[in-house]
């Protein structure tokens, strides 16, 4: 499925679900250093479970990290990373944590976006089947139906790349069916509408916490070292908003550190900001399972080893990681050649984004009371 990047207004009208107003700073002309600014965060999914909307947005909002940076941040929800990138490219949003493969795909199509900092740094995608399934790996995929979140999410290119790594043709040998996440995805698997799911680890935690047992397939080595969610912004007004973006990243990484240290506290904060996560249940009923789900997501979004006290260099993406990500993205069919990273990747904000009192954040997390 080719991405129709050129048709931004029509695509946005079809895919954006606004949950708040925003879409830009009041200071687009002449730079924004130290000024009050309004930003809109485009979240590449509906708010249905604890992940970046909790660990980044809710925590930063509730604990005053955005306010300390003189930022007012609203959110919109979109149908996948492609739509989220369309939002920031068109100005409907300002910044998004989008799938790195979709970011590279946008750049190849000359969509005006820039990647400014990493978020999910450990590969989160994995295939899962029912415990009694005869499928044990890629060799068993021929003729199977694979459930993906949507054809515009990072789920679909992952599934295609997994199939290709098994020596099969994803266009002929399997069928990708959109099944969403959560109960909808679990039902598709349990009812036999799909043979397997291609989701991220936190989404599986939600499904398992609801009572569905799963068997996970081992990813081939091709997926090692690939980056996933990456903060990206519109390129047209990047220079005018650089300071606002740096301040956003600093607040976001502070929130991530807090969440990594105390995921239960982060989850309680998430309920305050996004009560729809509770789905009509009480916080006491949901807290244990949701905290486990958030912790599963945080494992993909923080360094693979070490404790929060040791985490450093938030947002860094190495040349080797970009090279592996480009190779994967080509294998998945999202790009046809190498993207000029000098135009796409701008890590200049990360030094300032990491300039915060980590001890103070850790102390607040350790001593947080609702």
pLDDT digits (tens, 9 = 90+) for 3-49: 434 334 333 333 333 333 344 444 444 567 878 999 999 998 766 66
C-alpha span between 133 and 118 (Å, rounded): 36
Q: What residues have CB less than 8 Å from 113, skipping those under 6 apart?
A: 85, 88, 89, 103, 106, 107, 232, 233, 234, 235, 344
Residues 6+ apart with CB under 8 A from 337: 108, 330
Are residue 137 and residue 103 in the same domain, yes or no?
A: no
Instruction: State which of 223, 243, 277 marks the end of a domain.
Output: 223
- Determine how β-strand 17-18 pairs with β-strand 71-77: antiparallel
Q: 30, 240 in Cβ contact below 8 A?
A: yes
pLDDT for the residue 46: 67
| Same-domain pairing of 334 and 204 | no
Q: What is the pLDDT of residue 24?
A: 44
Closest CA to 72 of 330, 282, 248, 328: 248
Regions of the chain where pLDDT drops below 50: 1-29
**How much is the pLDDT for 225?**
87
Asked whether residue 234 falls in the same domain as residue 205, the answer is no
d(CA 155, CA 165): 15
Quick one: 174 and 218 in the same domain?
yes
**Residue 3 in domain:** no
- DSSP bridge partners of 189: none
Last residue of a domain, one of 223, 257, 279: 223
Structure confidence at residue 21 (pLDDT): 38
Residues 117 and 129 in one domain: no
Cα–Cα distance, 207 to 55 (Å, whole number): 20
Give pLDDT tens digits for 252-265. 999 999 999 999 99
Is 1 part of any domain?
no
Q: How many domains does the chain have?
A: 2
CATH of the domain at 299: 3.40.190.10
> Cα angle at 316 between 315 and 319, to 5 degrees?
145
Q: Is the dihedral of CA 73, 350, 158, 292 positive or negative?
A: negative
Q: Which residues is 34 bridged to in the sheet?
A: none
Classify strands 196-200 and 125-129 as parallel, antiparallel or unpaired.
antiparallel
pLDDT in tens, 162-177: 999 899 999 999 999 9
Strand boundaries in 213-295, DSSP class E: 215-216, 229-234
Q: Both 304 and 203 in a single domain?
A: no
For 194-211, letters b (16+ CB in 10 Å) and e give bbbbbbbbbbbbbbbbee
pTM: 0.81
Whether the Cβ atoms of residue 39 and residue 94 lie closer than 8 Å to each other: yes
The domain of 203 spans 125-223
Q: Are residues 202 and 248 in the same domain?
A: no
Query: What is residue 279's predicted lDDT score, i.e. its pLDDT?
Result: 85
Query: What does the pLDDT read at residue 5?
Result: 43
Cα–Cα distance measured from residue 144 to residue 290, given in angstroms and rounded to the nearest whole number: 31
Same domain, 267 and 333: yes
CA distances from 37 to 22, 72, 97, 245, 312 (A): 11, 6, 19, 10, 27
If asked whether residues 118 and 25 sit together in one domain, one would say yes
């Amino acid at each position: 499925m080719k991405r129709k990047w050129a048709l931004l207004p029509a695509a946005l009208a079809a895919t954006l679900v606004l949950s708040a107003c925003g879409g830009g700073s009041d200071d687009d002309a002449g730079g924004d250093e130290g000024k009050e600014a309004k930003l809109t965060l485009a979240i590449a999914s509906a708010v249905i479970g604890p992940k970046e909307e909790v660990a980044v947005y809710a925590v930063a909002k509730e604990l005053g990290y955005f306010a300390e940076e003189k930022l007012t941040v609203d959110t919109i929800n979109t149908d996948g990373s492609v739509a989220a990138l369309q939002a920031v490219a068109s100005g409907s949003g300002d910044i998004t944590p989008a799938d790195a493969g979709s970011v590279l795909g946008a750049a190849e199509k000359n969509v005006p976006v820039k990647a400014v900092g990493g978020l999910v740094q450990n590969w989160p995608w994995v295939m899962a089947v029912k415990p009694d399934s005869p499928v044990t790996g890629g060799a068993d995929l021929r003729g199977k139906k694979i459930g993906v979140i949507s054809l515009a999410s990072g789920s679909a290119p992952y599934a295609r790349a997994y199939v290709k790594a098994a020596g099969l043709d994803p266009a002929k040998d399997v069928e990708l069916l959109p099944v969403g996440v959560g109960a909808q995805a679990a039902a598709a698997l349990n009812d036999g509408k799909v043979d397997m799911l291609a989701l991220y680890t936190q989404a599986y935690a939600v499904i398992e916490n609801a009572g569905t047992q799963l068997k996970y397939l081992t990813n081939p080595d091709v997926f090692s070292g690939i980056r996933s969610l990456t903060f990206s912004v519109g390129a047209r007004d990047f220079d005018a908003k650089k300071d606002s973006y740096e301040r956003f990243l600093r607040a976001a990484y502070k929130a991530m550190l807090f969440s990594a240290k105390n995921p239960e506290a982060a989850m309680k904060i998430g309920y305050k900001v996004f009560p729809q996560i509770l789905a009509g249940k009480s916080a006491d009923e949901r807290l244990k399972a949701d905290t486990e789900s958030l912790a599963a997501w945080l494992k993909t979004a923080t360094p693979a080893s070490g404790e929060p006290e040791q985490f450093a260099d938030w947002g860094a993406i190495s040349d080797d990681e970009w090279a592996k990500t480009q190779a994967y993205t080509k294998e998945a069919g999202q790009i046809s050649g190498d993207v000029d990273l000098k135009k796409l990747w701008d890590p200049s904000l990360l030094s300032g984004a990491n300039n915060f009192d980590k001890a103070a954040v850790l102390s607040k997390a350790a001593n947080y009371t609702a």
